[in-house]
């Protein structure tokens, strides 16, 4: 575990960017944290580290919980907050994404329970104060294989 502190959204974006720089296709990044802790902010940084502009994101026509950033590799951004029944998950064919050609970033991964892939990078965001976040990563950023 490696832990970082960010003091504003820009620093979280910057940390996400560093994480994104080290990611490669097939990586699944699970971002845990309360509502408003900064998960989406960090994932936007990851997209930027993968070299994808924010203009490149497209909503999945079928699933509101999935946003894909078109790039190489693409970034599939899942937000399972509103997911209530697992039927919807099966329809999604999640493993096609998790084992696919892109990078996956997942908000509210705890909603997936046993469907979470075992081989993944976990990130935990804790709200220390209104603007301070403690961000712990299960792999050292520099050691993230490319």
Beta strands in the chain (DSSP E): 2-6, 28-32, 57-59, 66-69, 75-79, 103-107, 121-127, 133-137
Residue 22 CA neighbour count, 13 Å, CB half: 14
Count of residues touching Mg ion (by CB under 5 A)? 2
Judged by beta carbon, residue 40 or residue 144, the one nearer Mg ion is 40
The CB-of-146 to ligand ATP minimum distance in angstroms stands at: 26
**Residue carrying structure tokens 């970033």:** 105
5 phi, psi to nearest 5 deg = -120, 130
The CB-of-138 to ligand ATP minimum distance in angstroms stands at: 18
Residue 131 touching ligand ATP (CB under 6 A): yes
Collapsing DSSP to helix, strand or coil, 83 comes out as coil
The CB-of-12 to ligand ATP minimum distance in angstroms stands at: 3
Judged by beta carbon, residue 72 or residue 131, the one nearer ligand ATP is 131
**Preceding omega of 135 cis (within 30 degrees of 0):** no
Residue 39 touching ligand ATP (CB under 6 A): yes
Judged by beta carbon, residue 46 or residue 139, the one nearer ligand ATP is 46
Residues 6+ apart with CB under 8 A from 38: 6, 9, 12, 125, 127, 133, 135
- Work out which of 107, 109, 137, 144 binds ligand ATP, going by CB under 6 A: 107
Residue 3 touching ligand ATP (CB under 6 A): no
- Chain positions contacting ligand ATP, by CB under 6 A: 6-9, 11-12, 33, 35-41, 81, 107, 131, 133
- Chain positions contacting Mg ion, by CB under 5 A: 39-40
């Amino acid at each position: 575990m490696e832990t970082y502190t960010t003091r504003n959204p820009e620093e979280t974006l910057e940390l996400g960017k560093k994480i994104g720089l080290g990611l490669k296709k097939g990586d699944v990044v699970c971002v845990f944290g309360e509502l408003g802790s900064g998960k989406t902010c960090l994932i936007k940084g990851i997209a930027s580290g993968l070299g994808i502009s924010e203009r490149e994101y497209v909503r999945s026509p079928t699933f509101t919980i999935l946003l894909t950033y078109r790039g190489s590799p693409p970034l599939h951004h899942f937000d399972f907050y509103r997911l209530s029944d697992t039927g919807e998950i099966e329809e999604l064919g999640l493993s096609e994404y998790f084992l696919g050609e892109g990078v996956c970033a997942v908000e509210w991964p705890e909603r997936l329970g046993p469907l979470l892939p075992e081989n993944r990078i976990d990130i935990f965001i804790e709200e220390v104060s209104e603007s301070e976040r403690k961000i712990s990563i299960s792999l050292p950023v520099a050691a993230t294989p490319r």
